[in-house]
């Protein structure tokens, strides 16, 4: 339960050693580099061309990785760990081979884009020619002559049929080439003497002018050529697809190249925060106290003429915050960072919060069978999947919750929805003891928060505030609770009076020296007892969610029992339903338990003492995306 003590570290090296220094610091992974405040000339900035070129290369490589990922010869799976590499693999300078692959992918994508464009053009041409497929002469031959007029286009089928009947026997030839829905495509050749009358009749039936594409071939011949061209395009696309698949074997190299570029980006960004003169460069940052001096010594030893020093923070500085806890407690740091880091000088509540989180989680899932699955399966998944540090913490939180769930499930006598023996607590048939238990756990949780607040005040040399702001509320709340017990009512009365008196007199001590105003503030503070009622009632969710888990499990078992009465097929189907339904029930309740356990920490527990505001420690280090570093 501690924050890592930080120290300032400074290093001055010759300018030609700056790149090697940053590599050394990145490899160490324990220095958060900060801008150097100096009036000397700054030789580099975030707008440096190298930064821009590096980011462009990163973007290109990542695009190529995404483009080739479907051709990865090594099938990816959430249960398969990322490939492990040595840190030296992320410091390669020559990325020409990877960039050459990226250029090939870009060229193939360009060719593929051109083929898609040609494919679209041919589809549009085919769509335009299809209605004229019945035309048995080239479109170039369909034109007016000295004695005839020609019309081509579309008209409603019924109107065109009526027109053909009306003009039967007259100097007009109407040829229907095809129809689609209620519209027909046609061409008509009419003697000039009747042209005006024919055009008037055409317009009357809803004629729309259209013409086939001018060509020396018939539309049918053009469609045949288009089909050949489209087949040729498909062959070319298949060839490009095969070449893409062949490049899929370079994915590992591309991923390593991306990690190299990402590591280089971190160094270049850090380079922009350093101070530079014509001959030297100065680096400044924060490092954990345990490693700051050894690192400074290593820098002096590694670079001739280098100077390095460390010092403690001075007044006005706000060092970054890094949590450090026992390995058993460390996973629960994810709950803290999910809310906000504690301020410098405040308490890290991870170790105290851990047992409460596990207890609350177990009470909400409350099925010992589900707990056994979590406790046994999670370590196996962590071993197989080798997840990232953040994901690993979540896994271990759920595993710890699984152990707690086994204990609470045994108390509730719930094993995959079954109750094989008498239980100590029965949320379904005798809910009042379970409700009292939930309120009791909540009260202990809240009082622990007050005690942590008192500890913070004692650490700061302010025991008076601990008595006024924390112990007074403990006396008041416990006293009011004892009033409900006839045997302890008298003690409870005096405890409540003492606690209320302290709050009434001291609540406004920091706001005003006027005793009247302080008394008014005290009355306002006493009104806060209502928030204690709502806080305690919030822990009834432990009962509600635990009851829901058990009841749903019982319903699943009753449903499966009915299904299994249908013979061998019923037994098989019932087994599938049993496993699937209980997995679903476990999943939704584990998710709900995690969310609500976090809420009870953030709202009720932290509200009693927590001082947030710390800035996270972000050292210059390797942070691979596609690979993992050897432990």
Into how many domains does the chain fold? 4
Same domain, 170 and 313: no
Query: Residue 459: inside a domain, yes or no?
Result: yes
Q: Identify whether residues 396 and 529 lie together within a single domain.
A: yes
Same domain for 477 and 600, yes or no, is yes
Distances (CA, A) of 396 to 390, 570, 628: 10, 38, 19
pLDDT band at 629 (very low <50, low <70, confident <90, very high): confident
User: 438 and 302, same structural domain?
Assistant: no
Distance between CA atoms of residues 402 and 419, nearest Å: 19
- Whether 440 and 525 map to the same domain: the answer is yes
Instruction: Say whether both 297 and 243 belong to one domain.
Output: no
Cβ-in-10-Å burial (0-12, 13-18, 19+) of 441 comes to: middle
Give bridge partners of residue 612 from the DSSP assignment: 342
Assess whether pLDDT exceeds 60 at residue 611: yes
When pLDDT is averaged across residues 66-87 and rounded to a whole number, the result is 83
Residue 627 lies in a domain: no
Indicate if 463 and 490 belong to the same structural domain. yes
Residues 190-212: b if buried by 16+ CB within 10 A, e if exposed: beeebbeebeebbeebebeeeeb
Q: How large is the average pLDDT for residues 555-565?
A: 88
Residue 64 domain-assigned (yes or no): yes
Mean pLDDT of 27-49: 70
Question: Which sign does the torsion angle of CA 405, 407, 411, 416 carry?
Answer: positive
CA pair distance 361, 398, nearest whole angstrom:
9
Alpha helices, DSSP H, located in 416-467: 431-459, 463-466
Shared domain check, 495 and 433: yes
For residue 42, the model assigns a pLDDT of: 47
Say yes or no to pLDDT of 569 above 80. yes
Domain containing residue 502: 330-608
The pLDDT score that the predictor gives to residue 594 is: 95
Cα torsion angle, 451, 453, 459, 460, sign: negative
Q: Would you state the pLDDT for residue 214?
A: 75
Window from 13-27, 276-290, 427-441, 457-471 with minimum mean pLDDT: 457-471
Q: Are residues 492 and 537 in the same domain?
A: yes
> How many CA atoms, within 13 angstroms, populate the side-chain half-sphere of residue 190?
22
Is the sign of the CA dihedral 74, 79, 80, 85 positive or negative? positive
Question: What is the pLDDT at residue 442?
Answer: 93
Q: Which of 211, 240, 255 marks a domain boundary?
A: 211
Instruction: Give the range among 34-48, 348-362, 498-512, 551-565 with minimum mean pLDDT.
Output: 34-48
| Of 458, 459, 242, 442, nearest in space to 345 by CA | 459
Residue 551 has pLDDT above 60, yes or no: yes
* pLDDT value at 270 more than 60: yes
Amino acid 377: pLDDT: 93
How far is C-alpha 95 from the geometric centre of its chain's CA atoms?
A: 30
pLDDT of residue 485: 78
Instruction: List the CATH number of the domain containing 188.
Output: 3.30.70.2750
Q: Name the percent of the chain lying above pLDDT 70.
A: 94
Across 247-267, average pLDDT: 93
- 52 lies in the same domain as 150: no
Is residue 359 within 8 Å of residue 605, measured between CB atoms? no
Q: How far is CA 355 from the centre of its chain?
A: 27
Same domain, 194 and 255: no
Res 429: pLDDT = 81
- Whether residue 354 lies inside any domain: the answer is yes
Q: Are residues 38 and 49 in the same domain?
A: no
């Amino acid at each position: 339960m501690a924050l890592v003590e930080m120290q300032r570290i400074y290093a001055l090296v010759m300018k030609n050693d700056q790149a090697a220094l940053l590599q050394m610091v990145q490899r160490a992974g324990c220095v958060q580099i900060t801008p150097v405040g100096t009036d000397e000339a700054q030789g580099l900035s975030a707008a440096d061309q190298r930064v821009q070129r590096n980011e462009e290369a990163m973007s290109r490589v990542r695009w190529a990785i995404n483009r080739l990922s479907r051709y990865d010869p090594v099938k990816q799976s959430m249960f398969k760990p990322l490939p492990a590499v040595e840190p030296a693999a992320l410091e390669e300078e020559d990325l020409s081979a990877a960039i050459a692959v990226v250029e090939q992918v870009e060229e193939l994508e360009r060719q593929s884009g051109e083929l898609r464009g040609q494919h679209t053009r041919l589809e549009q041409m085919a769509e335009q020619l299809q209605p004229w497929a019945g035309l048995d002469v080239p479109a170039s031959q369909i034109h007016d002559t000295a004695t005839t007029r020609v019309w081509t286009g579309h008209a409603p089928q019924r109107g065109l049929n009526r027109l053909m009947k009306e003009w039967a026997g007259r100097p007009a030839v109407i040829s229907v080439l095809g129809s689609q829905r209620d519209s027909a495509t046609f061409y008509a050749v009419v003697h000039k003497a009747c042209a005006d009358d024919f055009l008037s009749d055409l317009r009357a039936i809803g004629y729309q002018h259209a013409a086939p594409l001018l060509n020396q071939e018939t539309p049918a011949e053009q469609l045949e050529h288009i089909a050949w061209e489209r087949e040729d395009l498909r062959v070319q696309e298949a060839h490009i697809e095969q070449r893409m698949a062949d490049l899929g074997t370079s994915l590992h190299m591309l991923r390593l190249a991306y990690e190299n570029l990402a590591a280089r980006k971190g160094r270049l960004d850090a380079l922009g925060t350093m101070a530079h003169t014509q001959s030297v460069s100065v680096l400044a940052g924060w490092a954990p106290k345990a490693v700051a001096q050894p690192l400074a010594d290593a820098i002096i030893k590694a670079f001739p003429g280098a100077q390095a020093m460390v010092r403690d923070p001075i007044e006005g500085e706000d060092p970054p915050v890094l949590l450090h806890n026992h390995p058993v407690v460390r996973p629960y740091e994810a709950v803290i960072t999910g809310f906000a880091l504690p301020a410098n000088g405040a308490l890290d509540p991870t170790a105290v919060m851990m047992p409460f989180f596990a207890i609350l989680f177990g009470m909400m899932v409350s099925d010992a069978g589900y707990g056994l699955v979590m406790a046994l399966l999670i370590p196996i998944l962590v071993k197989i999947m080798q997840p990232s540090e953040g994901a690993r913490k979540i896994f271990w939180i759920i595993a710890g919750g699984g152990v707690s769930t086994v204990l609470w499930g045994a108390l509730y006598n719930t094993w995959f929805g079954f109750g094989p023996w008498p239980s100590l607590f029965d949320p379904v048939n005798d809910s009042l003891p379970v409700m009292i238990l939930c309120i009791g756990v909540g009260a202990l949780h809240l009082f622990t928060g007050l005690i942590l607040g008192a500890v913070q005040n004692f650490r700061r040399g302010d025991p008076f505030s601990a008595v006024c702001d924390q112990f007074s509320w403990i006396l008041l709340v416990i006293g009011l609770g004892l009033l409900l017990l006839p045997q302890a009512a008298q003690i409870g009365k005096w405890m409540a009076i003492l606690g209320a008196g302290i709050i009434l007199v001291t609540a406004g001590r920091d706001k005003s020296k006027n005793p009247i105003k302080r008394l008014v503030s005290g009355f306002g503070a006493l009104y806060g007892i209502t928030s204690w009622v709502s806080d305690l009632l919030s822990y009834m969710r432990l009962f509600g969610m635990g009851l829901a888990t058990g009841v749903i499990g019982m319903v699943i078992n009753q449903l499966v029992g009915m299904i299994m009465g249908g013979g061998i097929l019923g037994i098989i189907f019932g087994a599938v339903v049993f496993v699937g339904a209980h997995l679903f029930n476990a999943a939704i309740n584990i998710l709900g338990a995690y969310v609500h356990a976090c809420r009870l920490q953030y709202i009720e527990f932290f509200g009693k003492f927590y001082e947030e505001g710390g800035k996270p420690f972000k050292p210059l280090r390797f942070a691979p995306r596609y690979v993992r570093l050897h432990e």
